[in-house]
Structure 1
Amino acid sequence: MKRVVFKSRWVPAVAALPQLLLIFLFFYWPAVSVFNWAFTLEPAFGGAGERLFVGWENFTSVFADSQYWNSVRVSFTFAISATTITMAVALVLALAVDRQLKGSKLFRFFYIWPFALAGPAVGTAFLYILSPERGLMAMVNAAHPDFWNPARYGSHAMILIIACFVWKWVGYCFIFMLAGLQSIPRSLLEAASMDGSGPLRRALDIQIPLLSPTLFLLLILIATESFVGKDTYGIVERTTEGGPNNATDVMVFNVVSKAFYGLDYSGAAAQSLMIIALIMVFTFIQFRFVERRVHYR
């Protein structure tokens, strides 16, 4: 293969300039701005007003805000529940398709396509499907009044946004898990089958341990997405708007509400840095303890 060599140093620089500008405008500039706002008092309506350096006062206000701690609790509840259910359902579907069960090729398409939908679109669909007045749950409520009402009960609202997230991200996990399962040598499974191991035993003793690197990667990705992802915000904003009574007020939704509805840009910036710190701690714990069970060989 012939190696391409640029005679001038300006050619690769000009070719990389558009991408570098995009990275600067949409990654580094916002990151520096948020860090600056977190330690200053940003004018509510923007403009060229004077910014006052307030040090750690924005963080002190965040720590004293009960609504912030409620959003932390709600975020952890949502992230742990949504991640666990998503991974479990995707693993069962991947194991079923990998065994070439009847109809698996047909359903493979339906497992994947929900991931192509945006979070707000998924929230809109589930908002009508599970509507207590007009959706499928209306028939249940007709027999058992007020059995399902996300607008009234916080636990129902939490179930609603978890269902939306799981339905959307199961297909994403399914793709990676199926690819990992198909990379496992069939000779191992055939040998275990000849020794009398059933499908469940083969899955627990062979397939899942050999799939652990893929599962660990997906665990980090899905946990992070459920904690601060754009789909999490889109689903919550479209379905519950953080209610009822802040029962679904996840951290990412609370930050956006504080910034664009409460016009507290400095407080929102401080909360954003706290979210980054929590993600770093959460990821460190996963690498420190969960990765011990990962088999790379």
Structure 2
Amino acid sequence: MNAIAVFKNRWLAFLMLLPTLVVLGLFLYYPALETLRLSLYRANFVFQTETFVGLAQFQQLLTDPAYYQSLLQTVIFCALVVFLGLAFGLSLAILANQPIHGAAVYRSLLLYPYALSPAIAGTLWLFMFNPEVGLVNNILRTLFGIAPRWLDNPILAFTLVVFAAVWKNIGYNLAFYTAALQNLPGELLEAAALDGATPWQRFRYVTLPLLSPITFFLFFVNLTYAVFDTFSLVDILTAGGPTLGKTGITTFLIYRVYQDGFQNFQTGFAAAQAILMLIMVGGITVLQFRVGRRVNYGA
């Protein structure tokens, strides 16, 4: 019979938890409550002014066409980053998992982008796609006589940010998919091959279903990354522009919070946007738990 550790003094347990509770209180709970409070005030961080307006800022956001444009752009951006990130990550993992000489070296090189900070990754892409001296335009100018203005054209700028975000996170997807592929039960794949299944059929009906748990996990990790962790890429590459319609084509929700809070100094308005994003994240979390019940974790 296993012994269960019990604190003789119950206050000792709280004392040991105190450092963690203090850190959580200062850096998580207090900022969250302060954001909720500020969302009800028309506040200016620079002039230290606050005027209670209740839910007026939420009403303003929900009737603002520019906000809905940013929301739509964020949804499209997230969908592309998640789909392309998982597709490229799995494809590269399958190629890197082949029994070839130097496969470990190839896998290490493919993991390299994830080791970079988002700021460094954004700077690399900014230099590569510089319309005047960038490597990409130099090649295009030499081969085809063209030099696209990548950061001035809304469609090109949006596409550039999408592929920069995918490239930055592809090493993460590759690492998990490679580990999952190496742990697949080989007897199932061998049985399918003996039954006459083609390589595509083995992938579609055996490999892909067995990878569903890791795909489910990576889907939500990539979604969180696309929503919150691409700020530096956007800031360095496009700064939310170029303008299309009511706002910048790459002014996603997280970047809009930054613009209103730290550039326009509308602290309360930015807090209201942060609360709406928190509600969206809560909805995604609920969806994650509901969908997770349908994922097959069996062999």
Measure how far apart 1:270 and its partner are: 0.9
Distance between the aligned counterparts of 2:3 and 2:257, measured in 1?
52
Runs of 4+ in 1 over 6 A off after TM superposition: none
Q: State which of 272, 275, 285 in structure 1 corresponds to 2:274.
A: 272
The 3 A distance-change label for structure 1 pair 27 and 269 is same
Identity among equivalent pairs (%): 30
Q: Which runs of 5+ in 1 are unaligned?
A: none
The 3 A distance-change label for structure 1 pair 134 and 208 is same
8 Å contact kept, 2:137–2:147: no
- RMSD across aligned positions (CA): 2.3
1:23 pairs with 2:32: no
SS where residue 44 of structure 2 aligns? Answer: coil
2:265 counterpart residue number:
263
The 3 A distance-change label for structure 1 pair 56 and 233 is same
- For normalisation by structure 2, the TM-score amounts to 0.88
Distance between the aligned counterparts of 1:6 and 1:281, measured in 2?
38
SS where residue 158 of structure 1 aligns? Answer: helix
Measure how far apart 1:176 and its partner are: 1.5
1:59 counterpart residue number:
58
1:238 counterpart residue number:
236
8 Å contact kept, 1:150–1:244: no
Measure how far apart 1:295 and its partner are: 1.9
Q: Which runs of 5+ in 2 are unaligned?
A: none
- For normalisation by structure 1, the TM-score amounts to 0.89
SS where residue 42 of structure 1 aligns? Answer: strand
Measure how far apart 1:213 and its partner are: 1.1
Measure how far apart 1:43 and its partner are: 3.5
77-86 vs 97-106, which deviates more? 97-106
Measure how far apart 1:193 and its partner are: 2.2
8 Å contact kept, 1:123–1:234: yes
Distance between the aligned counterparts of 1:116 and 1:163, measured in 2?
17
Distance between the aligned counterparts of 1:36 and 1:160, measured in 2?
37
1:178 counterpart residue number:
178
1:100 counterpart residue number:
99
Q: Residues 1-297 of structure 1: matches in 2 within 5 Å?
A: 6-45=7-46, 47=48, 49=49, 51-139=50-138, 140-141=140-141, 144=144, 147-227=147-227, 229-230=228-229, 232-245=230-243, 246-285=248-287, 288=290, 291=292, 294-297=295-298
Distance between the aligned counterparts of 2:276 and 2:150, measured in 1?
29
User: Which residue identity does 2:237 align to in structure 1?
Assistant: T
Distance between the aligned counterparts of 2:226 and 2:84, measured in 1?
12
Q: Deviations over 1:46-73 (max 9, x none)?
A: 64x5x43321101111123232122112
Alignment length, in residue pairs? 292
The 3 A distance-change label for structure 1 pair 107 and 76 is same
Distance between the aligned counterparts of 2:23 and 2:63, measured in 1?
37
Distance between the aligned counterparts of 1:211 and 1:194, measured in 2?
21
Q: Deviations over 1:219-269 (max 9, x none)?
A: 111112202x13x11100011000111011111001011001111111111
